[in-house]
Structure 1
Amino acid sequence: MSDFWARAADLRAEQQPLISRFQAAFSTGIVVYGAGFVGTWAVQYLQGLGAKVVCVADRNPAKWHTAIRGVPVVAPEDPAVAETGWVLVAARHAAKAVVEQLTATGLTALSFDAFFAVSRYPDILEINNAFLADELSRQTLGAVVLAWLSGSPAPCRDVQAPDQYFCLPGFADDDRHIFIDAGAYVGDTVEKFIWACHGAFKRIHAFEPGERQFAALRQRTERLAAEWALDDGQIALVNAGVAEASGRMACVNVSGPAQSLNLVEAAADRDDLPTSAVYSLDDYLQGQPASLIKADVEGLELALLRGAAATIRRYGPKMALSVYHFPSDIFEIPAYVRRLDPGYRFALRHHSPLLMETVLYCWKD
């Protein structure tokens, strides 16, 4: 594992000239390949850098003739793709193969993850050098960065850790825990928590905006309450999302028929989308304590933290935060937590053989 950072540094140096060429092409135009979760974010990010994004290429015909931030979504065979010639591939789990295919047709292609890793390398190194508390965390970050740069998830498998959300001491073995499960899905993490703490905890607050997922969550927690002889009301279920401010948000799934939902600000031109209630944790808790917060909220983790700022400052809860949805999460989220309370310490673990399920663990001594 010790050579992750050395290999990443070599790839960064090798890819830097191509990154510079892409940056020079921003004024004339580039293409983003992949209209899914990362691709949608990549369009916004690149536009923020001043890039002209000509179109977004995607193989899903259902997405053609739609637009992302004013950029048309087209088939990969659309003439605009070849005419533009510069393609950043944001189809994360197929990036290497797509880059090879596009390069074989004469296009200049690179994975968006590699572009991001090279261009934001100083920010990533700052987290590695100034935030992470242990060597395994630093090697984990090195493996993730190497996977971004190489397009292969193999380094992730080398650092894959068990017991997601509860792998560090004190993240489950405390009978005083008041556990916030933000993004409870069908109750899988609630069940893991109950087993990890042997059924000894004060309360669980489980948030899930999806109707089908919430129904499964309710069914599961009813079973758990009976099996563990829990008190009535010891598990509070909330059919809502968690965000920076309370209100309603639109429910979308930009990556196809997956079973999890993304919540976004409702758009005037998309009144066909279903909506869900959302709460800020500060509004929901109304000054009451939380001792452990788990967040896997499809890219709203930073918004969740902003909406929980008062709770975090007052009670200093342990937190297990997903930092893989947006590439910038891996340095923006720990930096924000430290601004809230400089006393927090951090560890990073990766819990999947793919580029997903990277979790930042935050605690105070």
Structure 2
Amino acid sequence: MVREILCGQLSVWQRICRTKKPVLLYGMGDGAEKIIRVLDSIGVKISGVFASDEYVRGHSFHGFEVLRYDQAIERFGDFLILVAFAVHDEPTMERIYRMAQERELYLPDVPVIGDGLFDDRYIQEHEIELEAAYRLMEDEMSRQVFEDTLRFKLSGEAEYLRRMTTPKEIVYGQLLHARAGMRYLDLGAYDGDTLREFAQYAGKPVQAEAWEPDSKNFKKLCRFVESADFPVTPRSLGSWSTQDTLRFFRKAGRNSALGEAGNVEIAVDSVDHQYPESCFDVIKMDVEGAERETLLGCRQMIARCQPALIVSCYHRNEDLFDLPLLVKKLYPGYRLFLRHHPYLPAWETNLYAVAKSCL
């Protein structure tokens, strides 16, 4: 399957190496830093940086004046665009899709957590696992999302993401069969955004618990809880396979993550330790690269209750194959679905596991 899908397709990095056009970054920040490091390793230097008009204020990035898009066109004419940030608001995504029609544009896939690239070499090294995970996909849509995710990760072409996008409300209704009165566990709750989403599309949960280890995000979560019209218990806690204290790298926004070089310490625990006899109907895991350990910390509840699982599959390179294989191992009776929701690049690509008895 993998070889047939990707046969003859150049990686985004190969295309960049072959171009004669100036290479410009669209955006700044952590994603741009990662892309620049990869470009340095393959001997490619950027020619400039531009940003959305509202973020251009006469500053510089890596020694380049940050331009508006129209200024970049005036200065460089035709050029290759590398999008260096993540976005999910519709106006900005549409702007990027329009740029892709006007110029050669790529969204290089660099991991949110961890090192390495999801390139042709990586795909060859993990072909067996990728094939095995692909065979676990329950429906044609999941297989198509899997295929297009591979195509996107290799090529960086935005159109693959556009054509495989599914609105969240469809998943809640058609896959999870979510409804009011369910018990919902939110691991990586950020500011309550997914709790709000669940209540909007599925109805108000009868019980909701929300874990968030980042202290700034936890304050936002508590403000949401105060205004919520359904019961939510916030927990200042990170999810893991065991009870422990780990180092945590605090970043801006929702992308704080566990890591040995972290700048703060946080308490973590397993779902099984916190809820040795309880059951939840739905468990959401968006835990910035700790999904594997979190799943291992849920193994007893999964065996006992078979909750529906919503698992982020995009933080680490291996998540696309490793997490489906692990979920199926923990409970072979799960049916696995893969969906991508509105986001650029391939963030918000989620694995949905639903017990056969619930379908």
The TM-score, its normalising length taken from structure 2, stands at 0.67
Cα distance in structure 1, aligned partners of 2:131 and 2:151:
13
Task: Output the CA distance in 2 between the equivalents of 1:207 and 1:221.
Answer: 12
Q: Quick one: distance in 1 between partners of 2:291 and 2:191?
A: 19
Q: Which of 127, 130, 146 matches 1:124?
A: 130
Change (3 A) 1:323 1:180: same
| 1:182 pairs with 2:182 | no
Give runs of aligned pairs for residues 302-341 of structure 1, distance below 5 A. Answer: 302-341=292-331
Match of 1:158 in 2: 163
1:93: Cα distance to partner? 4.7
Structure 2 Cα separation of the partners of residues 223 and 362 of structure 1: 31
Q: CA deviation at 1:298?
A: 0.4
Q: Give the counterpart letter for 2:193 in structure 1.
A: D
Instruction: Measure the CA separation in 1 of the matches of 2:167 and 2:140.
Output: 17
Q: Which runs of 4+ in 1 moved over 4 A?
A: 3-7, 34-39, 91-94, 96-99
Q: Post-superposition shift, 1:170? A: 5.9
Q: 1:135 to 1:170 in 2, by over 3 A?
A: closer
Cα shift readout 1:293-325 (whole Å, capped 9, x = no counterpart) = 111100000100001111111100100100111
Q: Distance in 2 between matches of 1:146 and 1:185?
A: 30
* SS of residue in 2 equivalent to 1:324: coil
1:67 paired residue number: none
2:6 matched to which residue of 1?
Answer: 8
The one-letter code matched in structure 2 to 1:142 is: E
Distance 1:293 1:98 in 2: 30
AA of the residue aligned to 1:342 = P
Q: So what's the TM-score if we normalise by structure 1?
A: 0.66
For 1:174 and 1:192, the matched residues in 2 are separated by: 12
Native 8 Å contact 1:165 1:294 kept in 2: no
The reply on whether 1:221 has 2:225 as its aligned counterpart is yes
Unaligned runs of 5+ in 1: 19-33, 44-53, 60-74, 76-90, 100-109
Q: Provide the secondary structure at the position in 2 that maps to 1:359.
A: strand
Instruction: Assess, with a 3 A threshold, how the Cα gap between structure 1 residues 97 and 340 changes in structure 2: closer, same or farther.
Output: closer
| Alpha-carbon distance between aligned partners in 2 of 1:206 and 1:6, rounded to the nearest angstrom | 42
| Structure 1 residues 137 and 303: CA distance shift in structure 2, 3 A | same
SS at 2:351 equivalent: strand
The Cα RMSD (Å) is: 3.7
The DSSP-based 3-state class of the residue aligned with 1:10 is coil
Deviations 1:149-194 (A, max 9, x none): 1122320111111117944536363334211111100101001111
Q: Tell me if structure 2 keeps the 8 A contact 1:35–1:58.
A: no
CA contact (8 A) 2:107 2:157 kept: no
| Distance (whole Å) between structure 2 residues aligned to residue 207 and residue 162 of structure 1 | 25
Match of 2:66 in 1: none
State which of 345, 350, 355 in structure 2 corresponds to 1:359: 350
Residue 260 in 1 paired to residue 266 in 2? no
Query: How many residues get paired?
Result: 276
Compute the displacement of 1:58 (Å): 12
What SS does structure 2 have at the residue aligned with 1:312? helix
Paired with 1:5 and 1:167, the residues of 2 have a C-alpha distance of: 33
Change (3 A) 1:37 1:190: farther
Which position in structure 1 is the counterpart of 2:49?
none
In the alignment, which of 234, 244, 248 is matched to residue 251 of structure 1? 248
From 123, 136, 139, the equivalent of 2:141 is 136
Distance (whole Å) between structure 1 residues aligned to residue 146 and residue 268 of structure 2: 31
1:279 to 1:111, Cα distance in 2 relative to 1, 3 A: closer
Q: Corresponding residue for 2:216?
A: 212
Measure, in 2, the Cα distance between the counterparts of 1:145 and 1:239: 36
Instruction: Check whether the contact 2:237–2:267 (CA below 8 A) recurs between aligned residues.
Output: yes
